[in-house]
Structure 1
Amino acid sequence: MILSHDIPAASYWSVRLRTGRLLRLTALDDGAVCSALIFAASDPVDRLNVPDTLKAQLSARIRPPMVLMSDRGTALCSVTGSSLDWHDCLTGHSLDGHAEAAGRSSNATDRNDWRRSARYGLLSELRKHGRGPTDLHGCVNFFAKVAIGDDGRLAYDPRHATAGDWVTLRAEQELLFVCSTAPHPMSPTWAPGAVRAEVHVGTRYGPDDPSVTFRPESARALAAAKAVTT
């Protein structure tokens, strides 16, 4: 293991990942959510494109062995494994209004329990890397499930993830990973959970890798990323 960091509930964090490194996220509490933005570190404008990622791989959720694709059609990272078969990427991250709906809160009165939205946390981390509001984009809400309910509307499942659930990402090029552990924007209550982030040494994929053979589009995205990094 190269790095291990516990991200407290309703907090935020970022890390740069080298090509081939593995990032394992583990829910430390029931109902934990990790809202993540992903960027190609070598290009200031190339970032996760959720619509293209879903359309190319015929999915409305993130699950193994899908490839998370950038605006330019290159693979940013591959989902190499997960204890869950559903990670939300349709609803975006929480805004200040979602945090305020749980009641007034401030650092002066609540100290470390001060309620901050995912937007607040993501922007705080982005500024550390010389970025700002224009770099916000469609995110992946790891450990969250939003599906069509019986009434035909999107429905959030607060019991989808439990402590110990995990997901592993393999960096297909050098990445900037930015995340928040604030509650999901559709969560009925303010009940954030902590998440552990671990970075491990990994290896590049081979021709029989599940992400390569998953779909022709995922294979092309991986080949495009390899061309960028070699």
Structure 2
Amino acid sequence: MLKQSTLAAATALYAATIPAGDYWLHEVKKGQTLRIVDVAGNQAADTLFYNADDPHERYCATSTIRTQGNVYLGLGSRLLSQDGTPMLTIVADTVGRHDTLGGACATESNTVRYALEKKTMHACRDSYVLALAEHDHWGLTKRDIGHNINFFMNVPITADGGLSFADGVSGPGQYVEMVAHMNVVVLISNCPQLNNPCNAYDPTPIDVLIWEAA
């Protein structure tokens, strides 16, 4: 199901562009709305959420999938923590389906999926580790990097229960929008992956916007 937002970009409290391969770490307050925009199309935004008041509570794919009975995320999906507490709800979505099974790329997984010589290539997990090291006031380390959401990424489940990485289903200017139910720390790695067809082997920028609580 698709739904356009009623919010105008010009009224946003905050707006930023995340260059391809870079990270973005920011707090979104309870009641505020966060929009992630796929600027050029088919770019994966690997995203983690933490409770800003207790960062050891964080987004949990298992709780989210089990509660909603769907392995894909979309309009109306409630993103739950490991305690089963709603962190955010998707309230607008022009794409229709987002992945939370494929995980973030890492140098190790690049060697498994692609080739041994790909190990030296930059990956989302590197961005996560760098972000937490450069913002250590949150008290988070690489041990706190859990299962993420891949907004705009297409990871179909095969007939035998495996995962496949396919061409993206998003397009230029498509977006997903969420309302926060608690103060959340949002960590996005704008995926630098050059080996995955989801972004046509060409990483591009992502925009993020925040609106004040209604």
- Shared topology, TM-score over 0.5? yes
Relative to structure 1, is the Cα distance of residues 104 and 96 closer, same or farther in structure 2, using a 3 angstrom cutoff? closer
Taking structure 1 as the reference length, the TM-score comes to 0.77
Structure exhibiting the larger radius of gyration computed from Cα positions? 1
Shift of the alpha carbon at 1:185? 9.4
Q: Distance in 2 between matches of 1:132 and 1:185?
A: 26
Residue in 2 that maps onto 1:140: 149
Q: Which of 107, 112, 122 does residue 116 from structure 1 map onto? A: 122
Mind listing any 5+ residue stretches in structure 1 that lack a counterpart?
107-114, 204-230
Q: Distance in 1 between matches of 2:159 and 2:41?
A: 24
Residue in 2 that maps onto 1:156: 165
Relative to structure 1, is the Cα distance of residues 190 and 97 closer, same or farther in structure 2, using a 3 angstrom cutoff? farther
Residue in 1 that maps onto 2:191: 182
Residue in 1 that maps onto 2:86: 75
Q: Is 2:34 aligned against 1:23?
A: yes
Contact 2:156/2:163 (8 A) holds in 1 = yes
Contact 1:57/1:66 (8 A) holds in 2 = yes
Q: Which amino acid aligns with 2:59?
A: L
Q: Distance in 1 between matches of 2:38 and 2:98?
A: 13
Aligned residue for 1:122, secondary structure, equals helix
Alignment deviations for residues 53-103 of structure 1 (CA, whole Å, 9 cap, x no partner): 110110011111011001111111111111011100001101024567586
Among all aligned residue pairs of Structure 1 and Structure 2, give the percentage whose two residues are the same amino acid: 22
Q: Distance in 2 between matches of 1:184 and 1:153?
A: 21
Moved more, 96-105 or 61-70: 96-105
Q: Distance in 1 between matches of 2:101 and 2:161?
A: 15
Aligned residues: 195
Aligned residue for 2:62, secondary structure, equals helix
Moved more, 177-186 or 28-37: 177-186
Q: Distance in 2 between matches of 1:15 and 1:181?
A: 14
Residue in 2 that maps onto 1:166: 175
Relative to structure 1, is the Cα distance of residues 7 and 185 closer, same or farther in structure 2, using a 3 angstrom cutoff? same
Q: Is 2:19 aligned against 1:8?
A: yes
Alignment deviations for residues 119-176 of structure 1 (CA, whole Å, 9 cap, x no partner): 0111111221331111101100000121124676422222311111100011100000
Q: Distance in 2 between matches of 1:80 and 1:14?
A: 21
Residue in 1 that maps onto 2:5: none
Q: Distance in 1 between matches of 2:119 and 2:62?
A: 35
Q: Is 2:97 aligned against 1:91?
A: no
Relative to structure 1, is the Cα distance of residues 177 and 105 closer, same or farther in structure 2, using a 3 angstrom cutoff? same
Taking structure 2 as the reference length, the TM-score comes to 0.82
Aligned residue for 2:125, secondary structure, equals helix
Root-mean-square deviation (CA), in Å? 2.4
Contact 1:94/1:185 (8 A) holds in 2 = no
Q: Distance in 1 between matches of 2:108 and 2:172?
A: 27
Aligned residue for 2:156, secondary structure, equals strand
Moved more, 154-163 or 136-145: 154-163
